[in-house]
Structure 1
Amino acid sequence: MSTPSLEERIERLESIDEIRQLAARYSLSLDMRDMDAHVNLFAPDIRIGRDRVGRAHFKAWQDETLRDQFTGTSHHLGQHIIEFIDRDHATGVVYSKNEHECGGEWVIMQMLYWDDYERIDGRWCFRRRLPCYWYATDLNKPPIGDLKMRWPGRQPYSGTFHELFPSWKEFWADRPDKESLPEVAPPAPLDKFLETMRRGTPAPKIRVR
């Protein structure tokens, strides 16, 4: 494997910064309801559902969703891990803590996004954002127990916060023997951290809220 040149390393750093700005712009444009700014963060041929393609369809869907469900929102980003597939494609995980004004209730949410990024015509875009939820509940009602997704006027249901990573179920399914030291797997390659954690599992099916 050849050592990347200085130009390639600088390009990689610039791409990382642009992708992180992409996630920040997503939150700001969504919270400020600038639908044109928002949908232009996605690939021009973004797919909406089974048979709709393009930013215009995405804008119509987002507009309807936001008007029907939320008076206001605020998305607060946490850690952001980015790994490159090649020069123009990358994947990433972004934590997000969100607040939603839903009529007479104030719903807080903890989630992460599993992202696919693509550089198109020199600019990084979202190819896909997969929202994986841990909980959503009224501010005054801690989401203890199962079925942590608790929106006003809906039956509680499970999120997909842990389904991306098999380690969650493995951790709770197998208690180590305290009489012996556990085995430690070798470190993941530097640019394969997320891929190693996923272990080839398929993306979970997301329930549209």
Structure 2
Amino acid sequence: MTDNKTLAVEEKLERLWATQDIKDLALRYGLAVDTRDWALMDSLWVETEAIHPDSVLNGGTILDVHVLRAAAADLSLVGASTMLVANHLVEFDSPDRAHGSVYCHCMMDAEVFFEQLIIYQDVYERHDGAWLFRTRDHLLWWGAERKDNPMRQPPAHWPQSQVGAGVAFETIQRPNSSISAKR
């Protein structure tokens, strides 16, 4: 890890730009989950030949491109989700490799409505100028079922009412929706 005080101005600008690109990567991940845009999700990952030894497919907590491809069909069967990306710290190991911590609050309508508070421990790599995930370690702070499922309320008909089920999930699921635009 390089101390920011020793970097030249041009290097600091490059690092600032790279940090924003990496933070956008985490935001795109959340959007891909919520819109079930598996082409977008696939574009966020380094293509690796082997499954990470600690991947979810091997009983661990690591997500990689192989795990996400395997999970796409299952996630498509789940109801609405909202993944909020919060704190995100990025640290550089080299000009083309970094690691970081990302806090997320995920709400998902499955058989039951549940919430999770997650911290992802990520490894990022730059390939052909684009920052990508190499791995994401999905570490759960907590997960909880909600007794009242907010998605099963009567429609809100916003702006007439502030309370009730909205239309966002159906809207962002439409093909060619502007919210799911590719990078």
TM-score of the two chains, using structure 2 as the length reference: 0.67
Q: Offset at 1:46? A: 6.5
1:62 is matched with 71
Q: Deviations over 1:11-65 (max 9, x none)?
A: 000000000000000000111000010111010226446599x95x555412123
Per the TM alignment, residue 4 of structure 1 is displaced from its structure 2 partner at its CA by: 1.7
Of 77, 97, 101, which residue of structure 1 is paired with 2:109?
A: 101
| 1:87 match | 95
Rg larger for: 1
Alpha-carbon distance between aligned partners in 1 of 2:141 and 2:99, rounded to the nearest angstrom: 20
1:18 lines up with 2:21 in the alignment: yes
Question: Could you say what secondary structure the match of 1:83 adopts?
Answer: strand
Aligned twin of 1:72: 80
How big is the shift at 1:67?
3.4
Match for residue 6 of structure 2? 3
The reply on whether 1:125 has 2:128 as its aligned counterpart is no
Report the residue type matching 1:134 in the other structure. W
Question: How do 1:115-154 and structure 2 match up within 5 A?
Answer: 115-140=122-147
- Given the alignment of the two structures, is residue 35 of structure 1 paired with residue 42 of structure 2, yes or no? no
Give the alignment's Cα RMSD to 1 decimal: 2.5
Higher helix share: 2
**CA-CA distance at 1:139 after TM superposition:** 1.4
How many residues of Structure 1 are paired with residues of Structure 2 in the alignment? 137
**1:168 match:** none
Q: Equivalent residue of 1:91, what SS?
A: strand
Q: Secondary structure at the match of 1:45?
A: coil
Structure 1 runs of 4+ aligned residues shifted over 4 Å read: 49-52
Contact 1:98 1:108 in 2 (8 A): yes
Secondary structure of the 1:71 match is coil
Q: 1:47 to 1:75 in 2, by over 3 A?
A: farther
Closer/same/farther in 2, CA of residues 60 and 13 from structure 1, 3 Å limit = closer
Q: Bigger relative contact order, structure 1 or 2, given CA contacts below 8 A and separation 6+?
A: 2
| 1:49–1:6 distance in 2 versus 1, CA, 3 Å | closer
Which residue identity lines up with residue 88 of structure 1 in the other structure?
Answer: D
| Secondary structure, aligned partner of 1:61 | helix
Give the counterpart of 2:118 among 111, 123, 126: 111
**Counterpart-to-counterpart distance in 2, 1:22 and 1:46:** 21
* Contact 1:108–1:137 under 8 Å retained in 2: yes
Partner Cα distance (1:76, 1:46) in 2: 30
1:96 and 1:111 in contact (8 A); partners too: yes
